[in-house]
Amino acid sequence: MPILASFMVPHPPMIVPAVGRGSEKQVMETTSAYEQVAREIAALQPETVIVTSPHATMYSDYFHISPGRKALGSFGYFRAPEVKFTEAYDEDLVDAISGIAYDEGFPAGTMGDREPELDHGTMVPLYFIEKEYKDFKLVRIGLSGLPLVDHYRLGIFISRAVEQTGRRAVIVASGDLSHKLQDYGPYGFAKEGPEYDAKIMDVMGRAAFGELLDFDEVFCDRAAECGHRSFVIMAGAWDGRRVRAKTLSHQDVTGVGYGICTFYPEGANEDANAMDPSSSLGAKSTVSDPSRQFLKLHLESKEKELRAQIEASDAYVRLARMTIEKYIRTGEKVRVPENLDVLRNPGDSEIPEELLTTRAGAFVSIHKQGKLRGCIGTIGPTAKNLAKEIVNNAISASTRDPRFDPIREDELQWLEINVDVLMEPEIIESRDQLDVKHYGVIVSTKDGRRGLLLPDIDGVDDVDDQVAIAMSKGGIQPHEKYELQRFEVIRHR
């Protein structure tokens, strides 16, 4: 059976009266909408409520699905220990989701249960639901640091598992919106805050789920949003199906955005009351729509863009890409200079001479679907020539960056690669001589510790942040004495 319905909801603990102690009156509009959601879920009588929560166990490269027979939780952390929960997990559905992920080679399952107690991102929705309906089991799923397309793909697998098990299930996508909507809010104000809220409420109100995949990650970070990836998982569960969306509320009075929307499938043979949750248990079938296969459409568009980017790249980037592809596929290293002639584009008169005649430090940066996948380089030259420097660093960036697993062959078609050739660093007297867009920075101590950050990095717009990140990379504490150097780069894409 397809998903019965899904719901986008926030999770402010203060909306629970025992926690809010009167402050919940600020968000009565949100409370009323939440109560409507609870009534609609009760009318659907689901066997299982699937909650995706930003505050459940989270890993950078893995989706955690809570294991076991049951879980306990309370709002004790928020000074309301009397508000307690005991929830039975739907073990069969958990096994089905995990099994599909395993078969697909997808990083999701029940390993690494670090936080078995229920989180507030799960308990706030349960508080409202259980005032109206309790005859269900729970599936709790955390988010990850993986790209948005992987969150969407997980939603597809959840939907497949629901149909495989025949469960009557609803999805509750728990997540606040921007945390930077008001100067008086707990996180202050950023212009991206209200921009994000307006954009996400528009997208969700139209069920334009494909647009969720196009949100820029830097924009989301600056808006300090909480629930975007939760909403993307939910959207994936509707892939290829027509959906009827309704916006119930949006508030930003606390400085944090709270949005509530409902989503129901358009049934193929529904009668006049089929989508009225007060008179029906939900549509038995849904209308397929290829124009709403948003993951397929998104990947086709990105693949076309990437092909154009690859065709337009220069010899430096082509050398890095050729190195990575050959090493990942065969374990063999590109030989220099024997293979350099293949780097020539039809319009090139010759390969840049400096690849073979100059020595310089170089960084190779690799991104996949908008997220960093590897970046390693050298501050100064370590190889016979720049070509060999790029080859060595391309291999290191793709297989030896300690932050990531080695790149797999199935990832090669999605890699975006750039090469930064470093100019000679110069010592500077103060941070006033830095410009995050124009100069990279090196922070070093007398005992040899050194940290570097390239210029013009997405999300780094402030010199103090640039220096702090470089210090952190070098293991240098703020109170220690250090020397600053700046450098320019020639960036090849």
Instruction: Give me the CATH number covering residue 407.
Output: 3.30.700.20
Residue 278 placed within a domain: yes
pTM: 0.87
The residue from 289, 324, 353 where one domain ends is 289
Residue 330 placed within a domain: yes
* Residues 265 and 346 occupy one common structural domain: no
Q: Are 438 and 455 in contact (CB under 8 A)?
A: yes
Q: Which pLDDT does position 337 carry in this prediction?
A: 67
The confidence band for 353, taking pLDDT boundaries of 50, 70 and 90, is: confident
Task: For Cα atoms 135, 138, 142, give the angle at the middle one, nearest 5 degrees.
Answer: 160
pLDDT tens track for 240-262: 999 999 999 999 999 999 999 99
Residue 294 placed within a domain: no
The confidence band for 294, taking pLDDT boundaries of 50, 70 and 90, is: very high
* Residues 223 and 314 occupy one common structural domain: no
* Residues 278 and 427 occupy one common structural domain: no
pLDDT tens track for 196-221: 999 999 999 999 999 999 999 989 99
* Residues 173 and 59 occupy one common structural domain: yes
The confidence band for 102, taking pLDDT boundaries of 50, 70 and 90, is: very high
Measure the CA–CA gap between 40 and 403, rounded to whole angstroms: 44
Which has the minimum average pLDDT: 89-98, 336-345, 442-451? 336-345
Residue 115 placed within a domain: yes
Residue 391 placed within a domain: yes
* Residues 229 and 334 occupy one common structural domain: no
Looking at residue 393, its amino acid is N
Residue 332 placed within a domain: yes
Measure the CA–CA gap between 246 and 248, rounded to whole angstroms: 6
The confidence band for 282, taking pLDDT boundaries of 50, 70 and 90, is: very low
Provide the CATH number for the domain around residue 253: 3.40.830.10
The residue from 235, 255, 289 where one domain ends is 289
* Residues 313 and 284 occupy one common structural domain: no
The confidence band for 350, taking pLDDT boundaries of 50, 70 and 90, is: low
* Residues 18 and 38 occupy one common structural domain: yes
* Residues 206 and 266 occupy one common structural domain: yes
Residue 347: pLDDT over 50 = no
* Residues 398 and 465 occupy one common structural domain: yes
Residue 80 placed within a domain: yes
The residue from 255, 289, 323 where one domain ends is 289
Residue 274: pLDDT over 70 = no
How many domains does the chain contain in total? Answer: 2
* Residues 283 and 308 occupy one common structural domain: no
Range of 363's domain? 301-492
* Residues 241 and 329 occupy one common structural domain: no
* Residues 272 and 317 occupy one common structural domain: no
Distances (CA, A) of 123 to 41, 115, 256: 16, 14, 18
The 8 Å CB, 24+ separation contacts for 184-191 are 184/255, 185/254, 185/255, 185/256, 186/255, 186/256, 187/224, 187/255, 187/256, 188/255, 189/255, 190/222, 190/223, 190/224
pLDDT tens track for 136-190: 999 999 999 999 999 999 999 999 999 999 999 999 999 999 999 999 998 999 9
Which has the minimum average pLDDT: 14-18, 167-171, 475-479? 475-479
Residue 296 placed within a domain: no
Record the tokens describing residue 393, joined without a space: 């660093």
